[in-house]
Chain A
Amino acid sequence: MKCPARDLDEHEQAKDGGPTGMKNTSLEIGKSVPRFDAIAKVTGKEKYAADFWAQDVLWAGVKRAAVPHARIRGIKTDDAIRIPGVLSVLTSKDVKGTNRQGVVRKDQPVLADDKVRHCGDPVVLVVAEDRETLAKALACIKVDLEPLPGLFDPENAMAQGAPLVHEENPEGNLLLKGSLETGKVEAAFESCYETVEAEFRLPHQEHAYLETEVGWAVFRDDFLQITASTQSPFRDRYETAEAIGFDMHKVRIIAPYCGGAFGGKDGITVQSLLGLAAWSNPGRPVKMWWSREESILASVKRHPAHLCYKLGAKKDGTFHALSVRIYFDTGPYDNLGGAVMALGLEHSGGPYRIPNTSLKAWAVFTNNPIGGPFRGFGVPQVTAAMEQMVDMMAKRLGISPLDIRVKNALRRGDRNPAGTTLTGSTGIGECLGKIPASRLWQESETWKKDAPPFKKRGVGLASAMQGMGYGPLIPDTANAKLELTGDGRFRVFCGVVDMGQGNASTYLQIAGEILNQETSGMELVLPDTARTLPSGSSSASRTTFTFGNALVKASKTMKERLLEKASDILMAKGPDEMALVPGSVRHMPSGKEMPLSALAGMLSEAERTSVARYRTPSAKESPTGDPNLTLHGIPHIIFSYAAHAAFLEVDTLSGEIEIKRYLAFTDCGRILNPQIFEQQMQGGIAQGLGYALFEELKVKQGMIRTPDFGTYIIPTSMDLPDMESTAVELHEENGPFGLKGAGEIAMNGPFPAVANALADACGIRIFSGPMTPERVLGALKKKPPCQEER
């Protein structure tokens, strides 16, 4: 049987060291170096937060509201406390801190105090000896709830006299509103040759990471250590400490590789609850692991949105005016909902030149599940709408969907629809320009004609863009630390979580390139507030850009220092005679080498360490006079771009859509590792296709009707096509080796590309996502395919 003490050590120390068993290979930028984490993951040895277990582990769990809006009149816990094996039963009264969490606005309780505001709100925390006892205890807790009228639609929630989610909020149920204006939109619409108007509705999307929210904690010697599946350990430390009333410096957060996160672990999930549970049971490890059902009930989701668009163009297809109104349902808490709204607003006009725009958005509190960060962060919703508008306009004007995009595509130096001047690389034109040459595109007309009986085929395009980094929200900084170990290897202290996207491996590749080392010469320390340096969250397409830049600096400093030191020791003329080679420093004129381990032995600890900070640039101009929008991240200055094409087949008897082929051209700057780039593209497209075709959290009166993986449908291997993704490698001068962020951009294109392909195939549009067989058949029934214009 396992010994708990050994387990603790194993978990703390598991991350150091090189990738045992990995084939040694040189680390060069631009090469598909196999990921460092691959061996441990493929052998099952990687220890995720979920994998901690010890004989004396305690289990923590929470009793959740199960109703969307109610006042707590009383909580009856006596029966639970009496159960043998139940160690703690805690309510909000036991929370010593602010009992409030949140990144921008701290409005989400650790344990509900006065009210519950959505069906997943936690009310009582129980710690027990084992899971069975825990379940029994949770089942016999009675929460006396006085039902309150619920708010389930953001527009109704903004009406005068609507019940309030947060009585203390001076703006009623409004979390944040924003407006961006350029030119003179009213007058501009009058001078348009054509205008197109449409409304779109998009549902909650569940992250559905395979590793549900999980962590374990131990409180020992007045010190709280929490290991969690999280994207943001440094922010968690601060937030958890404040919420549960701890000195931040006595809290340590350890962040192993996540079993997927996609934004859903960018913020507190289990951390504060585990902190409370461990603090109540000193000396014993406590684990909390949400079941899939609990994860779907309580976790954040992509914000549902209602989008109202009006686009005006000149006769030749030049976009002239755009009016946008977007209502985001943020659920009962901010949870970055204001920032999501702002990013959506900023991207709502797409990568086009539109001189006159009026863009407005609202993020509104309701009693629906919590809206939160999710790959794309508000941009998938607006892209789904805008890119359909573009196709509708093209059709109206009799211009091809590709031509109208090319004609209006942003170029470097243009102002984007939000009013920001694009000073960085702007490759949407290059991405679109690749499409006509692709074989699939060239064959598309013949392919469409070959549709089998009862099937219609169509091809659809979409452009996409994604701003990088936090914007002016907070300084977007990272702090890299690099150490030459005593045995002559380089240890990278990774400040940003690797939630599965492979950034940790890319960091080693960056340092390895600069220091000219092979994989065997590199080591990695994963994020840990006690060991690595604060570098922000793993989010916003920033992880490789921001931390990578800091690491470039730290590596260059290290290289310079080592060459200088070696030059002195070997009595060379100067560091320019020296070069780093794998494992050694070489004196070029003589060919003499000094092993790095020997060099390390002659250096002090301070000399063996290199630390550097980088802050991502933000825009100098301010397209908005609204300080609140600036506070929520507007404007961005560096954007990645993409052009996508979906090739699909619609079954006219059932309404089923099958994606047969998928093409993506992406400008995310120079590619550091082609394989990791493709992983991000394919994975993002897969989630985007899920969003387009299957994924819909069904919520009725605040209650989730798709509570598990049997009802919340994500794509299987049978539902996705092979995808072709190509990088249009423009050089971004600010990026490490010319890179821009690649984590989110691929998520934005699939929804509108599928919608446009569906319109191409059958002449129908579904204005409420996703495009399920039922909705497709319903639309076909209204407009049989034989009557449609093609």
Chain B
Amino acid sequence: MKIRFCLNEKDMEIETRPDRRVVDLMREDMGLTGTKESCGSGECGSCTILVDGETRLSCIMLAAQLDGRSITTIEGISGVEGLHPLQEAFIEHGAIQCGFCTPGMVLTSLDLMGLKPCPTREEIREAISGNLCRCTGYQKIVDAVEAFASKRKVPQQ
């Protein structure tokens, strides 16, 4: 089946099986291994991608569903000028340990930033509650998102 979609701001047309899992399509066919797989059944958030700006779990999504959509993976958020400031906040605040949850955490936090520009710590915890992390205890991830949001807030005021 032919599928057209926009992947990290590039228009694509690919031939694939309609029932191919999106996580496999990204990791294998597209070579974008930043999208991770950990549970395969929607219970951990490692495979999070953005579809039209909103989070989706690519392990429970099929290739056919991509048609006409705009997809962002972790590889698509840092531009030519360097890292996205949210990524910088993750680094600066020590939010990364083994790093396997990190792409999903970053994309999920980006989605939150669109919905709530100045979230509380509780709202950040709520927003990332579908992304399991086994290394950090989440605290430094919350720190990073909070710091990013408050830094960004300043110029707007």
Contact = CB atoms under 8 A, between A and B. Distances in A.
**Within 8 Å by CB, do A and B touch in the complex?**
yes
B99 A259 contact: yes
B135 interface: yes
Contacts of B41: 292, 708-710
B134 A209 contact: yes
A12 B97 CA distance: 22
Interface in A493-523: 499-502
A676 B140 CA distance: 11
B12 interface: no
Of B101, B125, B135, B140, chain A has the most CB atoms within 10 Å of the CB of B135
Contact of B97 (A501, A717, A722): A501
Contacts of A37: 96, 99
A500 B90 contact: no
B137 A720 contact: yes
Contact of B40 (A40, A207, A291, A722): A291
B83 A43 contact: yes
Nearest to B122: A718
A412 B42 CA distance: 51
B100 A260 contact: yes
Nearest to A675: B94
A307 interface: no
Interface residues of A, number: 58
A257 interface: yes
A209 B100 CA distance: 9
A499 B136 CA distance: 13
Interface string B85-124: 0010011101011111111001000000000000001001
B147 to A, nearest CB: 13
A41 B140 contact: no
A208 interface: yes
Per DSSP, are chain A's interface residues mostly helix, strand or loop, or mixed?
loop
A722 B90 CA distance: 17
A320 B40 CA distance: 53
Interface string A384-425: 000000000000000000000000000000000000000000
B96 A41 contact: yes
B22 interface: no
A150 B29 CA distance: 46
Contacts of B101: 210
A619 to B, nearest CB: 32
Given A38-B96, A210-B132, A708 B139 contact: no
A257 B32 contact: no
Contact of B96 (A42, A208, A212, A718): A42
B73 interface: yes
Interface string A480-493: 00000000000000
Interface centre among A37, A41, A208, A679 (most CB of B within 10 A): A41
Interface in A22-68: 32, 34-35, 37-48, 50-51, 53
A211 interface: yes
Interface in B120-152: 121, 124-126, 128-142
Given A34-B91, A717-B128, A44 B98 contact: no
Nearest to A686: B137
B96 A32 contact: no
A683 B137 contact: yes
A446 interface: no
A683 B99 contact: no
A297 interface: no
B141 to A, nearest CB: 7
Q: Is the interface of B mostly helix, strand, loop or mixed?
A: loop
A409 to B, nearest CB: 27
A433 B141 CA distance: 30
Given A717-B138, A722-B139, A44 B90 contact: no
Given A43-B87, A51-B33, A686-B138, A717 B96 contact: no
Contact of A210 (B31, B34, B125, B134): B134
A720 B135 CA distance: 13
Given A210-B46, A683-B136, A716-B132, A42 B90 contact: yes
B122 to A, nearest CB: 9
A276 interface: no
Contact of A679 (B36, B125, B132, B135): B135
A464 interface: no
A501 B133 CA distance: 13
A210 B75 CA distance: 20
B43 A710 contact: yes
A502 B97 contact: yes
A729 interface: no
A716 B135 CA distance: 12
A50 B27 CA distance: 10
Contacts of B103: 42, 44
A639 B27 CA distance: 44
A123 interface: no
A717 B100 contact: no
A502 B135 CA distance: 11
B60 interface: no
A42 B40 contact: no
A262 interface: yes
Contacts of B27: 51, 53
Chain B CB within 10 Å, residue with most, of A40, A685, A717: A717
Nearest to B98: A500
Contact of A676 (B94, B98, B129): B94
Given A21-B83, A718-B129, A32 B138 contact: no
Contact of A45 (B34, B39, B92): B34
21 contacts: A21-B82, A32-B94, A35-B94, A38-B90, A40-B99, A42-B103, A43-B75, A43-B83, A45-B34, A51-B33, A259-B100, A261-B98, A292-B40, A292-B41, A501-B135, A678-B94, A714-B134, A716-B129, A717-B133, A718-B126, A722-B139
Interface of A: 1-2, 21, 32, 34-35, 37-48, 50-51, 53, 207-212, 257-262, 291-292, 499-502, 675-676, 678-679, 682-683, 685-687, 708-710, 714, 716-718, 720, 722-723
Given A38-B91, A676-B94, 8 more contacts: A51-B27, A499-B98, A500-B99, A678-B94, A679-B135, A679-B136, A717-B129, A722-B142
Which A-B residue pairs are the 7 nearest by beta carbons? A44-B34, A500-B98, A41-B99, A686-B137, A259-B100, A44-B74, A51-B33
